[in-house]
Amino acid sequence: MADTSTKSASFWAEHRLWIIIASILILLPPLSFLFQFTQDSNFCGSWCPRMFFSWRKGQAASDFFLGFARSYMGVTLVLGVLASTFFLGRYWCSHLCPVGGTMETGSRIVPKWLKINFSAIPAPPVRYGYFAVYMLAPAVGLGSLCCNYCNFATVPRMFGAAFFNGADFAYFLRTAGLINLGLIVVFGFLAKGGRAYCNFMCPIGAMDSLSNRLGLKFGRRMNVDQSKCNSCGACSRVCPTWAIEIKDKAAIDHYSCMPCRKCEKACAKGAIAYGKTQG
Amino acid sequence: MTPKNIIVFIAAAAVSLAAANTRFGDSAHAIGVIKANGGSARHASHLDAGKDAYTLIATATVIPPYRGDARITLEGEPKLDCKLYSSGPVLDLGIRRHPVFREDTLFDLQPKDRIAIWAVIKPPAIDPVCGMAVKDDFVSEQHGGKSYRFCSDDCLNNFRLNPDKYKNNAAQGKYTLAFTDTATGKRVLDIPVLLGGKEGAGDGGHQH
Ligand code: SF4
Ligand code: SF4
Ligand SMILES: [Zn+2]
């Protein structure tokens, strides 16, 4: 009997690379298609998804909410991402985000022997350590991680610079720009699976992973059928976010999983599938 | 929560905190408003002295009723080499009207427009004693493997007497990134740029 739950959703599993490429083409230079509707050319400006939710010491409430108005598209985007993740899992991160998508797609081109495997480092504590500082440091006046280390600024500007856009090029002529480029290269392009940056230091990813975990009981996620799993570990070897641990059987950490569904494809027993959480 | 996870959490937070407090003296971000009778920046932009190149990102919103064309110049002495770029899309699909940047001028600014200008600033070599920008007829002198140039024998002699006092001097001073309406000649935005200021910019590094 054909399993209809995986059949109906297999579009997302089969065509993921093309969905990522389409998202890159729509959102990033040279087209910057969606941004041009709001007089922007990248995420900086009304689409900024990172700045509005971090409160700075001494900032008046009116100024804080003015930031929401300034980045109204970014606010809409983040709320949409968090809500959809709660019910459907982190499809924004796995399929739609052009920033994470660029890093993962780029990492596919990097030869295996050059790749760095970060899976010895547990990802959630790094992520929330970073995120705690992201939120608290500006609030108590101890600096800021917001714009100085921004994946949403760096990746679009890499595309812009590749098309000889002067301002995007200038981004990389300063220390902060070069450090960001280095972070994207080391934790993105050179990382096994291309998602170490997403897993460690994306504030959107950090919030999104919390929504993913909170909505676990209510929504659809990747599930392991314990009766089919033979603990071979094939799934955990392909997971770009090193979210699968083989204890007795495979167990998925929903703080880190984004439904890229590589594990589903890798499992010879068909033990992993996307769907309503059981139990 | 295993002990390992707690240690990793603390280590990640410590590294992040150090990163959050690292300031890069070669770039700054100014946020301002363009106004018919003189707009201003929220705060001055601080850049460290002695770097090879600087990037100043100036973002501004046009306050009604201002409309017009504004020329952008970097004013101050000694003159700094300054190249300006507007942060716009690579391929303009013409979906929305927006100001056009050509040469050093923003054309067709209209109320509520938001602009982002990237200024790449290169300071000139200076006579480390008197601070004059180096000209062709300056005399040169080697010191500690580096070459220095002086406007006069006076300055050269002062340098020889006390090289440690002067050897790290680089172009610095108070500059202004000035936006001037081309029709009226009036300033519509002044952004103070302090080259050599090491005091932290009060903005907590909110810059892009
Ligand atoms: S973690 Fe951040 S960069 Fe990575 S896919 Fe998600 S939103 Fe994009
Ligand atoms: S657990 Fe499976 S679906 Fe989730 S990130 Fe890992 S490989 Fe992708
Ligand atoms: Zn002199």
- What tokens does B17 get? 């905190």
pLDDT tens, chain B, 208 aa long: 799 999 999 999 999 999 999 988 999 999 999 999 999 999 899 999 888 899 999 999 999 999 999 999 999 988 899 999 999 899 999 999 999 999 999 999 999 999 999 999 999 889 999 988 898 999 999 999 989 999 999 999 999 999 999 988 888 889 999 999 999 999 999 999 999 854 444 444 444 3
Number of neighbours of residue A80 by Cβ within 10 angstroms = 11
Instruction: Give dist(CA A39, CA B97) in Å, integer.
Output: 8
User: For residue A208, what are the CA distances in angstroms to A199, A212, B206?
Assistant: 11, 6, 23
**Closest to B8 in 3D by CA, of A237, A95, A130, A191:** A130
Concatenating the DSSP letter of every residue in B155-176 gives: HHHHHHH-HHHHTT----EEEE
User: For residue A23, what are the CA distances in angstroms to A19, A97, A100, A108?
Assistant: 6, 7, 11, 17
Ligand 2 pocket mutation, candidates A85, A239, A249, A277, criterion most atoms within 8 A of CB: A239
Q: Which atom of ligand 2 is nearest to the CA of A252?
A: 1
| Min Cα–Cα distance to chain B from A139, Å | 10
Q: Is the CB of A183 under 6 A from ligand 1?
A: no
Instruction: Give dist(CA B47, CA B82) in Å, integer.
Output: 14
Average pLDDT taken over every residue of chain A: 94
Q: Which atom of ligand 1 is nearest to the CA of A151?
A: 3
Cis peptide before A49 (omega within 30 of 0): no
Helices (H), A140-224: 151-162, 166-171, 175-184, 196-201, 203-214
| Min Cα–Cα distance to chain B from A47, Å | 13
- What tokens does B46 get? 């601080």
Query: Which domains are assigned to chain A?
Result: 11-213 (no CATH), 219-276 (3.30.70.20)
> B57, B208 in Cβ contact below 8 A?
yes
Name every residue whose Cβ is closer than 8 Å to that of residue A135 and which is 6 or more positions away in sequence: A53, A54
| Model pLDDT, residue A6 | 47
Q: What is the pLDDT of residues A150-167, one digit of tens each?
A: 999 999 999 999 999 999
Label residue A279 by pLDDT band (50, 70, 90). low
Question: Is the pLDDT assigned to residue A238 strictly greater than 90?
Answer: yes
Find the helix packing angle between B3-20 and A123-139, rounded to 10°. Answer: 40
Q: Could A169 and B85 be called an inter-chain contact, meaning their C-beta atoms sit closer than 8 Å? A: yes
> B168, B130 in Cβ contact below 8 A?
no
**Closest to A202 in 3D by CA, of A134, A271, A119:** A134
Q: What is the pLDDT of residues B105-134, one digit of tens each?
A: 999 999 999 999 999 999 988 999 998 889
3-class SS at B30? strand
**Closest to B81 in 3D by CA, of B198, B205, B175:** B175
The ranges assigned to domains in chain B are: 25-123+179-195, 125-166
| Min Cα–Cα distance to chain A from B91, Å | 5
DSSP code, position A116: B
Q: Which atom of ligand 2 is nearest to the CA of A241?
A: 5
Question: What does DSSP say about strands B39-40 and B187-195: parallel, antiparallel, or unpaired?
Answer: parallel
Instruction: Give dist(CA A93, CA B106) in Å, integer.
Output: 37
Residue with tokens 């090193």: A242
**pTM for the model:** 0.90
| Model pLDDT, residue B172 | 85
Q: Is B102 on the interface with A (CB under 8 A)?
A: no
| Model pLDDT, residue A4 | 44
Terminal alpha carbon distance of chain A: 23
ipTM of model: 0.93
- CB contact residues (below 8 A), chain A span 167-196, against chain B: 167-171, 173-177
Residue A19 backbone zone (phi > 0: left; psi -120 to 50: alpha; other: beta): alpha
Counting Cα atoms < 13 Å in the Cβ hemisphere of A216 gives 15
- What tokens does A7 get? 């059949």
Label residue A9 by pLDDT band (50, 70, 90). low
Q: Is B27 on the interface with A (CB under 8 A)?
A: yes
| Model pLDDT, residue B50 | 87
Instruction: Give dist(CA B29, CA B206) in Å, integer.
Output: 8
Q: Which helix (H) or strand (E) holds A127?
A: helix A123-139
Label residue A122 by pLDDT band (50, 70, 90). very high
Cis peptide before A30 (omega within 30 of 0): yes
Q: Is B157 on the interface with A (CB under 8 A)?
A: no
Q: What is the pLDDT of residues A71-107, one digit of tens each?
A: 999 999 999 999 999 999 999 999 999 999 999 999 9
Region A217-221 average pLDDT? 94
Instruction: Give dist(CA B96, CA B27) in Å, integer.
Output: 30
Q: Which of B8, B16, B91, B110 to mutate to test the interface with A (most CBs of A within 10 A)?
A: B16
Question: Is the pLDDT assigned to residue A28 strictly greater than 90?
Answer: yes
3-class SS at B181? strand
Q: What is the pLDDT of residues A223-236, one digit of tens each?
A: 999 999 999 999 99
| Model pLDDT, residue B133 | 87
Instruction: Give dist(CA A81, CA B177) in Å, integer.
Output: 39
| Model pLDDT, residue B78 | 84
